[in-house]
Amino acid sequence: MATEGPPTCRVQVAEHPRLLKLKEMFNSKFGSIPKFYVRAPGRVNIIGEHIDYCGYSVLPMAVEQDILIAVEPVKANTLQLSNTNPLYPDFSTSANDIQIDKTKPLWHNYFLCGFKGIQEHFGLSNLPGMNCLVDGTIPPSSGLSSSSAVVCCAGLVTITVLGMNLSKVELAEICTRSERYIGTEGGGMDQSISFLAEEGTAKLIEFSPLRATDVKLPSGAVFVIASSCVEMNKAATAHFNTRVMECRLAAKLLAKYKGLQWGKVLRLEEVQADLRVGLEEMLLITEDALHPEPYSPEEVCRCLGISLQEFRTQILSPNTQDVLIFKLYQRAKHVFSEAARVLQFKKICEEAPDNTVELLGELMNQSHVSCRDLYECSCPELDQLVDVCRTFGAQGSRLTGAGWGGCTVSLVPTDKLPSFLANVHEAYYQRSDRSLVPENQRLFATKPGGGALVFLEA
């Protein structure tokens, strides 16, 4: 239940090779034994891209790949963070002086986000220190939410050390807010599915209030994740935050056009809710109210009747101050059409007609076209990979995650899976630069995994 906290499981560490290896590495590093372990999964978003921060429902599932942290509380107020991957250097800081540098999305900053989120939620000033060893199986910058999984893991680590309890929903909401310390204006899907996921089912995640509903996926097909081998770190680029801002500006212009109080409007869903109309009607209003040509900051100011100074200080985020063009029409059209596709996807899964896989695949294909053409968050490699996947038997294929690199997700009939994997491998991954990505991280079938939890040694 979402009202309960993440589960705690007692395990025989010796029977779990990964836990045992982590325990041994922890002992080698810190000269002691972990008191507990926490895991939080990555996720694949099946459909509903770039719409969670606009207030709309999304449809992800947790993947089996995860972040796993071994933890030992210590009396000193020092936070010692280490990673099993030698590419990520050790880090230590005072538990009572957490500084997060937005200009550098370094791995340890994501842990600090989760830690600081719990600290601020409870208004705590004197936190205990801890030794933590982090191990991850989610490929970084892949669009499978490795960074949010670290934030969620850190949040759960912190409340466990403090002996406090929070529900899965509360943890998801705190971790969503706290990831913004790193400068990413995300919407909450990644943190929500990391806590609310259940094995064997995808979830429709709805916001305000946050809730999750099971979505039973079709039995005759599997979802396959394929890496484009192009890394994209959304905290390191203005692309992501520019899209968030374009959607916010579109919401304000649509609200003003319809005579609503636009000043407090932040999300496109708020405009729809205030107007009490459907998504089709919102698409028609977008056609009337916005033009396809890009807007300059000056034109946005004229439309809203504000000064450039007010625009920069009251509306734009710090990392979008220098943006000179805003494509409001295209972004709004993507959001409203993608929100409708999510609801259609869920409806088809519920009704389960004979051609379910075909219908779901078509929605995924439409989603990719919209991401590519209207939201402009694809890249040549993702487009090529999507084409390759469709050529070799995927009913539907689309980019997943923020885009601009990362992964695709494809819906593949179960009987075609072996040939699909072999052919995609041959067609896309034979290039030398693409063969550098570890084989188990570049192309794999996945099924819905469980959510975040705490392990205690039995």
**Catalytic site positions:** 190
Distance of CA 412 to the CA centre of its chain: 23
> Distance (Å, rounded) from C-alpha 8 to C-alpha 396?
37
> Distance (Å, rounded) from C-alpha 228 to C-alpha 434?
8
> Distance (Å, rounded) from C-alpha 262 to C-alpha 254?
8
Largest interatomic CA distance in the chain: 67
Given a contact cutoff of 8 angstroms between Cβ atoms, the answer to whether 337 and 370 are in contact is yes
Q: In what order do the strands lie in the sheet with 453-457?
A: 8-11, 453-457, 36-47, 59-74, 129-136, 78-83, 91-94
> Distance (Å, rounded) from C-alpha 85 to C-alpha 63?
20
> Distance (Å, rounded) from C-alpha 304 to C-alpha 249?
10
Given a contact cutoff of 8 angstroms between Cβ atoms, the answer to whether 151 and 181 are in contact is no
3 contact partners, CB below 8 Å, separation of at least 6: 167, 168, 169
Look at strands 129-136 and 78-83 and give their pairing. parallel
Given a contact cutoff of 8 angstroms between Cβ atoms, the answer to whether 169 and 45 are in contact is no
> Distance (Å, rounded) from C-alpha 362 to C-alpha 353?
14
Given a contact cutoff of 8 angstroms between Cβ atoms, the answer to whether 387 and 423 are in contact is no
Q: Which residue has the tokens 């519920």?
A: 350
Q: Where is 273: in which H helix or E strand?
A: helix 268-275
DSSP class of residue 450 equals: -
Question: Which of 57, 61, 38, 64 lies closest to 171 in space, CA to CA?
Answer: 38
239 contact partners, CB below 8 Å, separation of at least 6: 377, 402, 404
